[in-house]
């Protein structure tokens, strides 16, 4: 049965119209559900276009509680960024159906998906198939360690581009380049640019982006969606929400030759 895809349709429309999006990643293990309605409202007022919710571990039993708290004030999409099959819930608007295509671990390519698919269907949750690539950042990230997936070397843009092209040919709807939460280095603009040049689907970039200028750099290189997570967990950094949103939304106006 074909299900409507309102969230992906919105993302695809923004991509085709050249309207880059800023999403904020919320880690349930690092969030107090009672604080989330206020944070969501603040982020929306600053211009944030959506939220991802999830983490590599989810040690605390507050995943669904966090989703419900966010939906109290959310007017933009709240999408699950799953760290495993335990992070599937009908409380969200959609779920990124992630396949870690940069690695060769069959559990992360298809195994966990077989378990999750009936649950996602039963909940009527919109599944957005996503080719997920871990990009090396000179440090072992939680995602790399927990998924047993070797990252793509950051200087090998052509390898990432070939993986992205294969993902699109397999029918995946997004390509996600991930340096890792709190990574010392973000995904190189040259890699983003090469991937974007080969695929028509939206390119998502996250990990290690700590300044509005870095966010704008990713957009100028071709990212349609920029993800910021760890940065906004630190005290005082919430004040930069609007600066990040403006940098992403205006990033396409910069010349790529400036990078």
pLDDT at position 2 is 45
The predicted-structure confidence for 5-57, as pLDDT tens digits, reads as follows: 799 999 999 999 999 999 999 999 999 999 999 999 999 999 999 999 998 77
Is pLDDT larger for residue 9 or for residue 148? 9
More confident residue, 136 or 142: 136
Three-class DSSP category at 130: strand
What pLDDT was estimated at residue 178?
Answer: 97
Q: What is the pLDDT of residue 136?
A: 96
Q: What is the pLDDT, as a whole number, of residue 3?
A: 53
* Sign of the torsion angle spanned by Cα atoms 137, 235, 23, 77: positive
Evaluate if pTM is beyond 0.85: yes
Element containing residue 71 per DSSP (H, E) = helix 63-71
**Of 156, 149, 194, 150, nearest in space to 175 by CA:** 194
Report whether pLDDT(256) > 80: no
Domain 19-258 classification at class level: alpha beta
The residue extents of the domains of the chain are 19-258
**Whole-number pLDDT of residue 222:** 97
Give the chain's mean pLDDT: 92
Residue 149's pLDDT band (cuts 50, 70, 90): confident
CA-closest candidate to residue 59, choices 33, 104, 96, 28? 28
Q: How much is the pLDDT for 59?
A: 63
pLDDT-based confidence at 146, cuts 50/70/90?
Answer: confident
Distance CA 57, CA 66 (A): 15
C-beta separation of 99 from 128 below 8 A: no
Predicted confidence (pLDDT) per residue in 170-216, tens digit = 999 999 999 988 889 999 999 999 999 999 999 999 999 999 999 99
d(CA 224, CA 200): 11
Average pLDDT over residues 96-105: 96
Average pLDDT over residues 112-119: 96
- Asked if the model's pLDDT at residue 248 lies above 50, the reply is yes
């Amino acid at each position: 049965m074909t299900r409507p895809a309102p969230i992906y349709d919105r993302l695809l429309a923004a991509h085709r119209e050249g309207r880059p999006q800023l999403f904020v990643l919320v880690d349930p293990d690092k969030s107090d559900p009672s604080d989330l309605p206020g944070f969501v409202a603040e982020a929306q007022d600053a211009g944030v276009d959506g939220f991802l919710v999830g983490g590599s571990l989810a040690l605390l039993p507050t995943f669904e509680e966090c989703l419900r708290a966010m939906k109290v004030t959310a007017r933009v999409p709240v999408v699950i960024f799953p760290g495993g099959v335990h992070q599937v819930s009908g409380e969200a608007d959609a779920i990124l159906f992630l396949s870690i295509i940069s690695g060769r671990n069959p559990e992360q390519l298809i195994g966990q998906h077989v378990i999750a698919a009936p649950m996602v269907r039963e909940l009527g949750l919109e599944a957005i198939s996503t080719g997920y690539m871990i990009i090396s950042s000179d440090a072992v990230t939680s995602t790399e360690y927990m998924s047993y997936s070797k990252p793509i070397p950051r200087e090998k843009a052509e390898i990432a581009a070939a993986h992205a092209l294969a993902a699109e040919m397999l029918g995946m709807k997004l390509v996600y380049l991930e340096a890792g939460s709190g990574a010392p280095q973000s995904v190189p603009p040259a890699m983003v640019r090469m991937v974007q040049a080969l695929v028509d689907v939206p390119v998502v970039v996250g990990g290690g982006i700590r300044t509005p200028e870095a966010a704008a750099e990713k957009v100028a290189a071709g990212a349609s969606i920029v993800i910021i997570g760890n940065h906004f967990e630190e005290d005082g950094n919430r004040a930069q929400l609007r600066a990040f949103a403006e940098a992403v939304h205006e990033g396409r106006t910069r010349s790529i030759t400036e990078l």
